[in-house]
Structure 1
Amino acid sequence: MISNVTVGPGPINQPVYSFYWAKVIATLAVVLLHSHAFMSAPLWQDVPWLGLFLNQVTRFAVPLFFVIAGYLIQPKLQRDPWSTLMAYAKPLLKLWLVWSLIYFALPFNLGTVVEHGYWHERVGYWSQLMQAPLNTLFEGGLVHLWYIPGLLSGLLVMAGLIASGRVHWIGPVALLLYAYALMTSSYQPFTGLESAIFPRNGPFFSTLMLVIGFWVRAKGRPMSVTLAFIVSLLGMALHLTEAFFLLPLTDEYPGYDFLFATPLWAYGLLHLCLALPQLGQRQAWLKSLSEATLGIYLVHLLVFIYYKNVLGMLSLSGYWTEFLATPVVFVVSYLIVIMLRKSPLHRLLLR
């Protein structure tokens, strides 16, 4: 959710307009992922293979946001880590708190509200959140808000190491955090290890992605388009292969956020953007849309929840409802962001 694509003083001194495309495509992928497209049908041998494929092929999105963030913040973070972190964190923490309160307050199941009242619907959700208070602390009012604490906690780890003169430690520390997260989540059936906090939350996954962007910017050695495409494709193929072989280890359909190959996938995609820096330079609409991606991310899950409510009230179902979910949720979320920009609350609800 980065709003600035301009690369300042550093090894690669040019605007990277392709980050506009990266942000928009990644946001579409997040909406597709959270819309649970085709997870109920079609089925082949009672398994929704198309839905599972879409669930995993969209997993590049948040890692790509993280690596771009690490890339863009590198010069300032390395020069003045604490001031940079504070300036970066304040507006994001404000958004996390405000939208958490919104999601705490707004009902999700309108049928329950009509039948039993607002308080009954909300108390059930609040009780659910309180069953895992540490995760709720790192997620906020709704699960997708984990992105903001995840981003900031990863940057906190990096800023602390840089400020203490241990910049060379950020790679090993990030790898250790990532390995711990994998062992306690996707590969937990092999290790038997448990984590007090869901490993996707906090700095466990985010730090390595941020460090990848940080070091790519610091080293200033971009790949060719061909090599970046090959690395991206290889990373995606390995990620999907891991997910396929891990599938039989769980009793329910999993949603692997990150796997061993995911950093390679994100690394290749970042280099692909850097190898095509002028892509999107002349599309003014693209710049405008990319600047709305953080707002779309914040609001889209609520739009999807109400989309499902409306379908339920109208007794509508079928392939077409799943197919329409992503475009409807994306467009409605974008329109809401546009309206919020024009409202007196835009400084409170948007960055």
Structure 2
Amino acid sequence: MSNETAVQTPERGPDAGAGSGQSDLARNAPLHGVPAPAAHPSSSAPAPVSAPAPASASAPREHRHDIDLMRLVCSVAVILGHIGGVFIAAVERQEANGPGAYWTGHIVEALNPFAVPMYFAIAGWAVLVGAPPRDSRRMWQRIVRNSVPLFVWTALYLLWGRAWGTNDGPVSRLALEAVFGSVRPAYHLWFMYAYIPLIAALAFVVLVRAGKRPWGLGAVLLVLASAPSLMGDLERWTGWDLPRFGWGFGVYQVAYALGGAMLFALPAGALGRLAGRRWVWAVPMALTAAGVLWYHTRVHYVIPNAHLLVAVMTGCVLLMVTRVRVPERWVPLLSKLAGASLGAYMVHVMVISAIVEPLVSADVPGAVAGPLFVALLAATVAVSFGASLLWGRLGLRRYLG
């Protein structure tokens, strides 16, 4: 998941433990899944009723440990891709400048394009199926709880860039642009500027279908839809240098959200014999990874999230993981790590700039590049998740993710 940086492009940048029936994705951010009481009913869509409505507050929802696992896999995949991007940037995207770093970076980058689309898929399932909002108030709570970590981390990355001398402009200007959707210097936060409007739009549909009148959400969506053209007109009329408006989502993000809602909601027996032969999906996934490697090295780096290869890879990973049974002895650790995944996502770019970038150079030999990547990945994952777990214990999860 990469963005506006020398490492990667905007297309790749991309969503706590068990609690109430309300989604953790809703309570915190896109890397969070949906907790629920311990009961385990079927995950298929609710039975038809006389009038469509969100799930009852008292209706038990199963806790989807498979989605916790998916969140964890995606979080590590994002970190993997960003470290791979450092190797590629070290040789300025040219094989001749260092074949070892070049191919190590591209091989690992070919494995992670599913991560950001999968976050949109999880978001779609959470809002439409897993924990649909019951009223506008609860949806606004979700939006606020997603927005607070976004702006806190934007401020932290601005201060980090100033301390390291990497900001590409005055902090005051960068802060203003961030309010309107800039991703400088925190390139990976682009995902949040798409995620928050997307869940708002999905929730608007859910509430209207349930007979509600979410006027506030509708007004916000109207502003988001019209703001780019209005700001463009204002800039032409006044001659002011206005920030680019980056809040919004695209068709491909909606498609992943709807596809995720459908596939994650499949009941346990829907896949039949394939449910016990998940390795079958690894074959097309490997083929799509090879296709992504070819695309990156021969066509364009970085492949768009909307590309067919990425869509097929995302579907394969989803079908490999959805409804997988997590052994009970792993559940506590999995829940803890999944709860820390948003925080790890937020902080890992700082960790990469501190411990990865100084150790990666164009002249790293091919025999060393692979082991070096593995060591740096392990260190980055350990530090990022360790930091997130720490501030979780300090009660800072609502501010830092």
Contact 1:71 1:217 in 2 (8 A): yes
Counterpart position of 2:117: 63
Counterpart position of 1:103: 157
1:11 and 2:44 equivalent? Answer: yes
Q: How does 1:133-144 map to 2 (within 5 A)?
A: 133=177, 137=181, 139=183, 141-144=185-188
1:124 and 2:169 equivalent? Answer: yes
Contact 1:77 1:85 in 2 (8 A): no
Q: TM-score, normalised by structure 1?
A: 0.70
Counterpart position of 2:23: none
CA 255–216 in structure 1, closer or farther in 2 if over 3 Å, else same: closer
Contact 2:291 2:309 in 1 (8 A): no
The letter for the 2-side match of 1:262 is V
- Shift, 1:14, TM fit: 4.3
The letter for the 2-side match of 1:71 is W
Counterpart position of 2:284: 234
Contact 1:77 1:84 in 2 (8 A): no
Counterpart position of 2:27: none
Distance (whole Å) between structure 1 residues aligned to residue 173 and residue 108 of structure 2: 28
Contact 1:60 1:265 in 2 (8 A): yes
Contact 2:72 2:337 in 1 (8 A): yes
Q: How does 1:301-320 map to 2 (within 5 A)?
A: 301-308=349-356, 311=359, 318=364, 319=369
Contact 1:97 1:140 in 2 (8 A): no
- Shift, 1:268, TM fit: 3.2
Contact 2:34 2:63 in 1 (8 A): no
Distance (whole Å) between structure 2 residues aligned to residue 214 and residue 148 of structure 1: 19
Match among 295, 314, 321 for residue 343 of structure 2: 295
Distance (whole Å) between structure 1 residues aligned to residue 156 and residue 398 of structure 2: 15
Counterpart position of 2:12: none
Counterpart position of 2:201: 157
- Select the structure that is richer in helix: 1
Match among 327, 334, 341 for residue 392 of structure 2: 341
CA 154–230 in structure 1, closer or farther in 2 if over 3 Å, else same: farther
* Range 46-55 or range 3-12, more displaced: 3-12
Q: How does 1:60-209 map to 2 (within 5 A)?
A: 60-75=114-129, 80=134, 82-83=136-137, 85-107=139-161, 110=164, 112=165, 122=167, 124=169, 126=171, 133=177, 137=181, 139=183, 141-165=185-209, 202-209=249-256
Contact 2:87 2:104 in 1 (8 A): yes
Contact 1:235 1:261 in 2 (8 A): no
Contact 2:351 2:384 in 1 (8 A): yes
The letter for the 1-side match of 2:115 is A
The letter for the 1-side match of 2:388 is V
Counterpart position of 1:329: 380
CA 340–15 in structure 1, closer or farther in 2 if over 3 Å, else same: closer
Match among 67, 71, 82 for residue 23 of structure 1: 71
CA 303–78 in structure 1, closer or farther in 2 if over 3 Å, else same: closer
Q: Which runs of 4+ in 1 moved over 6 A?
A: 41-46, 196-199
The runs of 5 or more residues in structure 2 that have no matched partner are 1-30, 46-60, 211-243
The letter for the 2-side match of 1:101 is A
Counterpart position of 1:212: 259
Counterpart position of 2:312: 264
Distance (whole Å) between structure 2 residues aligned to residue 162 and residue 133 of structure 1: 32
Distance (whole Å) between structure 1 residues aligned to residue 69 and residue 316 of structure 2: 15
CA 316–15 in structure 1, closer or farther in 2 if over 3 Å, else same: same
The letter for the 2-side match of 1:304 is I
Distance (whole Å) between structure 2 residues aligned to residue 55 and residue 128 of structure 1: 32
Contact 1:20 1:286 in 2 (8 A): yes
Contact 1:37 1:54 in 2 (8 A): no
Counterpart position of 1:118: none
Q: How does 1:40-59 map to 2 (within 5 A)?
A: 40=90, 48-59=102-113
- Shift, 1:304, TM fit: 0.7
The letter for the 2-side match of 1:296 is A
Distance (whole Å) between structure 2 residues aligned to residue 158 and residue 147 of structure 1: 16
Distance (whole Å) between structure 2 residues aligned to residue 74 and residue 94 of structure 1: 23
SS at match of 2:270: coil
- Shift, 1:124, TM fit: 3.2
- Shift, 1:226, TM fit: 5.2
CA 79–30 in structure 1, closer or farther in 2 if over 3 Å, else same: closer
Q: 1:147-198 CA deviation, whole Å, 9 max, x = no partner?
A: 22222222233233444549xxxxxxxxxxxxxxxxxxxxxxxxxxxxx888
Distance (whole Å) between structure 1 residues aligned to residue 288 and residue 358 of structure 2: 38
The letter for the 1-side match of 2:34 is N
Contact 1:89 1:152 in 2 (8 A): yes
The letter for the 2-side match of 1:160 is F
The letter for the 1-side match of 2:188 is H
